[in-house]
């Protein structure tokens, strides 16, 4: 709708709000902490705006949140550890920002996640080898375009529901684990733009 300006802190007075979706506009400034007063909020959609600043650590007060879309903004800083308290969260999209820090181990506590999208940020460090064992219903980790280093997560056999695995354009090294070929529902595997060595395991082949 071409809306612009800042998001008013008075939005916290809309106590019965269930979904907030002013996506694809030109809102600037920070995401007000008052959003955390929306205890009935289930869906937070603010992608493709011009939001700045950090993610409010008080956002964990929205215990009923199921989807967070803050991608394609200008957010900075680290992912707040308080997000680990969101036990109902299924979709976390923070891609295409300027977030820093290491892979947020705190989100391993959110077993309900099906999508983890952190692509195109400045997140570094190593990825947990047992990434999938924490998310039994994970459909896709989108972690491409960061600064992750070290080996590829090896225990992918736990990801029975995985459809997309996007780890391209990082600083990952080593070989491709043979277990990647046992993911029966996997449709897309992106590993390019890394420092991987060795051969592609015979289990990781194109079928059909």
State how far the Cα of 166 lies from the Cα of 204, in Å rounded to an integer.
15
| Amino acid 205: pLDDT | 66
| Amino acid 208: pLDDT | 42
| Amino acid 206: pLDDT | 58
Do 56 and 36 contact (CB within 8 A), yes or no? yes
DSSP SS3 for 178: helix
Q: What are residue 65's phi and psi, to 5 degrees? A: -60, 130
pLDDT tens for each residue of 71-96: 999 999 999 999 888 989 999 999 99
Provide the CA 22 distance to its chain's centre, in angstroms: 20
Q: 1-122 adopts what CATH topology?
A: 3.80.10
**Would you tell me how many other CB atoms lie within 10 Å of the CB of residue 35?**
22
- Residues 2-18, mean pLDDT to the nearest whole number: 94
Do 116 and 92 contact (CB within 8 A), yes or no? yes
- 3, with CB counted inside 10 A (0-12, 13-18, 19+), is exposed
User: Does the model's pTM come out above 0.85?
Assistant: yes
Domain boundaries, the chain: 1-122, 125-136+146-208
Which one is the CATH code of 125-136+146-208: 3.80.10.10, 3.30.9.30, 1.10.150.120, 3.40.50.1820? 3.80.10.10
């Amino acid at each position: 709708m071409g809306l612009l300006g800042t998001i008013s802190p008075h939005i916290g007075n809309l106590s019965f709000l269930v979904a907030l979706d002013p996506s694809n506009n030109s809102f600037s400034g920070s995401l007000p902490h008052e959003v955390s007063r929306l205890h009935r909020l289930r869906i937070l959609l603010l992608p493709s705006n011009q939001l700045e600043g950090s993610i409010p650590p008080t956002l964990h007060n929205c215990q009923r949140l199921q989807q967070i879309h803050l991608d394609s903004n200008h957010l900075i800083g680290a992912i707040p550890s308080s997000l680990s308290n969101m036990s109902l969260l299924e979709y976390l999209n923070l891609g295409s920002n300027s977030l820093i820090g290491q892979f947020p181990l705190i989100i391993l506590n959110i077993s309900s996640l099906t999508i983890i999208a952190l692509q195109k940020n400045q997140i570094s460090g190593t990825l947990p080898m047992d990434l999938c064992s924490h998310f039994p219903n994970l459909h896709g980790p989108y972690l491409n375009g960061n600064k992750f280093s070290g080996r590829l997560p090896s225990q992918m056999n736990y990801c029975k529901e995985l459809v997309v695995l996007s780890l391209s354009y990082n600083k990952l090294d080593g070989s491709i684990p043979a277990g990647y070929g046992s993911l029966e529902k996997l449709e897309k595997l992106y590993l390019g733009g890394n420092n991987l060595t060795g051969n592609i395991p015979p289990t990781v082949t194109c079928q059909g």
